[in-house]
Amino acid sequence: MPAFGDTLPSGMGRAIAAVNTGATRVTMLTEGTYPHSQGGVSVWCDQLVRGIPDVDFQILAVTADGREPVTWETPAHVSKVVSIPTWGPTPTGRAPRGRRLRAFLDIYEMFLLALLDPGPGNGPGAGSQAGSSTLERFAEGLYGLAARARYGELTASLRTEAALRTLAAVWNRPHLPTHAARPTMHDALAATDLLEHALRPLATAPPRDGITHAVSGGLAALPGLLARHLHGTPLLLTEHGVYLRERYIGYGTGGSRWPVKALLLGFFRLLAQETYARAALVTPGNHYNRRWEERGGTAPDKIRTVYNGVDPGAFPHAGPEPEIPTLAWAGRVDPIKDLETLIRAFALVRREMPEVRLRLFGGTPSGGQAYRERCQALARDLGIAEAVAFEGRVEDIRDAYAAGTVVMLSSISEGFPFTLIEAMSCGRATISTDVGGVREAVGDAGIVVPPREPEAMARAALELLRAPARRAWMGEAARLRVIDQFTLRHTIDSFREIYGALAAGGGRAYPAEDQAPRARRAGGEW
């Protein structure tokens, strides 16, 4: 077993080869996506798995309650799919007593101090850990808690009165900002509950051989980190969106009190840093993500940008525009997609072009019904409900793009969005928010506007709706851009080479870095 703190040379690590008696084994690590739900990341996973049939894939999928149906028909070379529920039945097991409980509390206190007190030495009373870095303390605490999870003790241990007192004591250290917030016992119970659910993937048996491929940061990476820590299994990380950034956005608008937010955001921040530090290779889907990963501590020689791709043959030109001017949107109904800004922008468009329609294609994930109802209520309040259609899931996503005169993307966070490059491949003009890798995808072939600014989005929509010649030019340019730079074959070939290099233990045999496409504004400043 590798000792904690080992460094792995040349970006690859210690060049531990996967044990191959035939096909390379890749354990794909997902959270809330493939193979249990639809969406862009799930499409990416399915395309990658199907595109490399000579690899033996297994899937460890972090899910909500474990009862989610498998919505994708996995191919024959996916040998196993394991669900890791974070909100299912409470794990059985008893809390330790005596010396074992005291040892757990020591580990837990060190872990909490790393999350809440990142200063040198963790403040007064840090003891023998004062010389180690915050990330080292976090990692030692994380893997110590993982050992308790494998014994079936972690859930019960976290919920003991002694663990709650430990959390309260750390929160109330006079030099910490949480002390001024006067944390309550209700805060301690709420934070413990959220943390316990987040740590449940630690109880999963990690893969001993092959490669682990986390297709997002965060909780999906936990089994991969354990596999690397316990067995030296190389970990590959692909971030489509920036997981940490999305946690900041989510907790920024959530209802939890500051002590609870501080604990959970500290956990996700250090989990991201630990994942970046331990991954053999990080493959962001765009250069925007790459900058986040470098700021998070990833060594530049361990990063290779690989853009998402589509098959232009599967997304041919969508054909004639609809007779009624229509703004179309496709995706999952989720706050991160910021449909409220899109609906507000549409209301402004309707003031000047009353005949325009807005059609929203996509399912509502489990737990997202309240957000959909909020968007529907907003449309009613703005007096445009009769012109806004929530279409739900569409059998063929190409129908969603064909339904639009212009295809919209209103997200406040994205990686390299599939819906955007699919719509571009279909030859539709697009208006997108300037987030993630959107500007890299669009280049000159679409309009990019600031996020959360309905007025700017409305101005762009009115300009395109009134300019059929410009829409036609933009659609053709968009399709040519996809064919030239964002094909599925390039994506699959890149990961085939990466898997081969990691399985062989080589540190320098990765494909060349994807070059950043030109990303100038189209249509002036917005």
Parallel, antiparallel or unpaired: strands 406-409 and 388-392: unpaired
**Which class for 233: exposed (0-12), middle (13-18), buried (19 or more C-beta within 10 A)?**
buried
pTM of the entire predicted model: 0.80
Asked if the model's pLDDT at residue 215 lies above 90, the reply is yes
Measured on CA atoms in the order 465, 469, 472, 475, is the torsion positive or negative?
negative
Asked if the model's pLDDT at residue 278 lies above 90, the reply is yes
67-117 residue pLDDT tens: 999 999 999 999 999 999 999 899 989 999 999 999 999 999 999 999 998
Question: Domains of the chain, with CATH numbers?
Answer: 21-89+204-302 (3.40.50.2000), 98-197 (no CATH), 326-485 (3.40.50.2000)
Asked if the model's pLDDT at residue 438 lies above 80, the reply is yes
**Residue predicted with more confidence, 131 or 459:** 459
> How far, in Å, CA of 36 to CA of 55, rounded?
21
- Residue 95's pLDDT is 93
- Residue 253's pLDDT is 72
Confidence of residue 7 (pLDDT cuts 50, 70, 90): very low
282-304 residue pLDDT tens: 999 988 899 989 999 999 999 99
**Rounded mean pLDDT, 180-205:** 96
- Residue 120's pLDDT is 53
Asked if the model's pLDDT at residue 62 lies above 50, the reply is yes
| Least trusted range by pLDDT, from 79-83, 253-257, 436-440 | 253-257
Helix/strand/coil percent split, the chain, to 5: 50, 10, 40
Q: Which two tokens stand for residue 456?
A: 């700017």
Output the CA angle 344-345-348, nearest 5 degrees: 95
Asked if the model's pLDDT at residue 249 lies above 70, the reply is yes
Asked if the model's pLDDT at residue 11 lies above 60, the reply is no
What are the angstrom distances between the C-alpha of 132 and each of 5, 114, 128, 276? Answer: 11, 10, 9, 19
- Residue 13's pLDDT is 35
Amino acid at 413: S
Write out the E strands in 55-180.
56-63, 78-85
- Residue 512's pLDDT is 62
Confidence of residue 1 (pLDDT cuts 50, 70, 90): very low
| Least trusted range by pLDDT, from 394-398, 436-440, 448-452, 503-507 | 503-507
